């Protein structure tokens, strides 16, 4: 077996170092040029999150706060997914509702993805704290998600893991889609893909049935998310029994609260259509009556009244790093 720890995985298939630093330029301190492609030029402060992939660290580079995703290379790593995620992170300068990447680089044992630090936390944290959102917030945050997702799809990218944990909130209350680790590129035209991917509660019926699928799976997840924002609950079984989750999504009609706005109820029904060919999505969702008050051009320019913006709940304490700030690399 090849020694994966010595493999160079961020090759010209994605971005080479000069391009990786395109939006995070070297700084000069005391006449010394400081590269954003050297991990030792970052000050690491705390752990923002961690999972099977590795850790996300709060760091600073040249007095700028950033989030750095640190992935340890191993035989279990899906290097193709890492390359795809690195590529997608370099696209969001074209759309304000996607998490922006600034540089990607690697050492012998780790891959680093430097991106926006969004101090408003995740949408999941807002929902955990508030339960649900005010109707105006549901409308505008839903519209922001629609803008970001339509842009991704127009670039041939299917996210496959949309959920409140992967929708982050910036300091002004705007949301940004993040975590492109399961994204699939080149999904243009009638192209489909197979295989389960994502978080089960947000998987579309066709994914759970192991059918081939396309970008419509992301719109199903948006339907679940909007329902949670509006009501505080999922429209399907919310327990922990895996088989009941699958059965509910495949067979149950969505539980949409009767007290919701009629246009919102109709939007949810059309997003949670079990037939992906009939599901609301790219090309027609912006014309749905629920979004009739949205000026899409103004929205993409982020010209929103302040009272429509999310306000962050109290911040939970993040986990500090070890005494040696680079000890997590050992």
pLDDT of 79-128, one tens digit each? 888 888 888 888 767 889 999 898 888 888 899 999 999 988 899 999 99
Binding residues: 73
Question: Is residue 259 over pLDDT 60?
Answer: yes
pLDDT at 226: 99
Based on the residue annotation, tell me whether 161 is a catalytic residue of this protein: yes
H or E stretch covering 46: strand 43-51
pLDDT band, residue 303 (cuts 50/70/90): confident
Shared domain for 99 and 139, answered yes or no, is: no
The answer to whether residue 204 sits within a structural domain is yes
Query: How many whole angstroms separate alpha carbon 268 and alpha carbon 272?
Result: 6
Range of the domain at 181: 123-308
**Predicted model pTM:** 0.86
If asked whether residues 66 and 134 sit together in one domain, one would say no
The total domain count for the chain is: 2
Q: Specify if 58 maps to a domain.
A: yes
Of 27-31, 185-189, 191-195, 301-305, which gets the smallest average pLDDT?
Answer: 27-31
Give me the catalytic one of 116, 161, 179, 218: 161
Q: Are residues 166 and 269 in the same domain?
A: yes
Looking at the fold, whether 198 and 110 belong to one and the same domain comes out as no
Gap between the Cα atoms of 192 and 135, Å rounded = 35
> Residues forming the annotated binding site for ATP?
73
Tokens of 15: 């971005």
73 dihedral zone (left: phi>0; alpha: psi -120 to 50; beta): beta
- Span 271-290, pLDDT tens digits: 999 999 999 999 999 999 99
pLDDT of residue 11: 39
Buried b (16+ CB within 10 A) or exposed e, 200-216: ebbbbbbbeeeeebbbb
Say which residue, 204 or 39, is predicted with more confidence: 204
């Amino acid at each position: 077996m090849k020694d994966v720890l010595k493999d160079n995985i961020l090759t010209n298939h994605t971005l080479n170092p000069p391009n990786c630093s395109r939006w995070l330029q070297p700084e000069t301190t005391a006449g010394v040029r400081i590269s954003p492609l050297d991990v030792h030029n970052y000050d690491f402060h705390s752990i923002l999150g961690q999972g099977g992939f590795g850790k996300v660290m709060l760091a600073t580079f040249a007095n700028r706060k950033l989030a750095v995703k640190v992935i340890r290379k191993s035989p279990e790593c899906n290097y193709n997914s890492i390359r795809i995620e690195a590529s997608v992170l370099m696209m969001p300068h074209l759309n304000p509702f996607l998490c922006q990447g600034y540089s990607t680089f690697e050492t012998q044992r780790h891959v680093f993805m430097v991106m926006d630090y969004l101090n408003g936390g995740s949408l999941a944290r807002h929902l955990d704290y508030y339960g649900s959102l005010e109707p105006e917030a549901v409308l505008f945050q839903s519209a922001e998600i629609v803008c970001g997702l339509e842009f991704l799809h127009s670039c041939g990218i299917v996210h496959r893991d949309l959920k409140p944990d992967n929708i982050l909130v910036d300091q002004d209350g705007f949301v940004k889609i993040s975590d492109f680790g399961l994204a699939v590129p080149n999904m243009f035209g009638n192209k489909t893909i197979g295989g389960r991917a994502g978080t089960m509660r947000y998987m579309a019926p066709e994914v759970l049935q192991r059918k081939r699928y396309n970008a419509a799976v992301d719109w199903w997840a948006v339907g679940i998310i909007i329902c949670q924002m509006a009501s505080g609950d999922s429209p399907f079984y919310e327990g922990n029994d895996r088989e009941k989750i699958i059965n509910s999504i495949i067979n149950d009609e969505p539980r949409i609260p009767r007290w919701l706005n009629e246009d919102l109820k109709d939007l949810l029904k059309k997003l949670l259509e079990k037939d992906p060919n009939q599901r609301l999505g790219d090309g027609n969702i912006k014309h749905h009556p629920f979004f009739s008050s949205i000026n899409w051009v103004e929205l993409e320019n982020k010209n929103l009244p302040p009272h429509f913006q999310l306000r962050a709940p109290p911040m939970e304490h993040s986990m500090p790093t070890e005494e040696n700030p680079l000890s997590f690399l050992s």
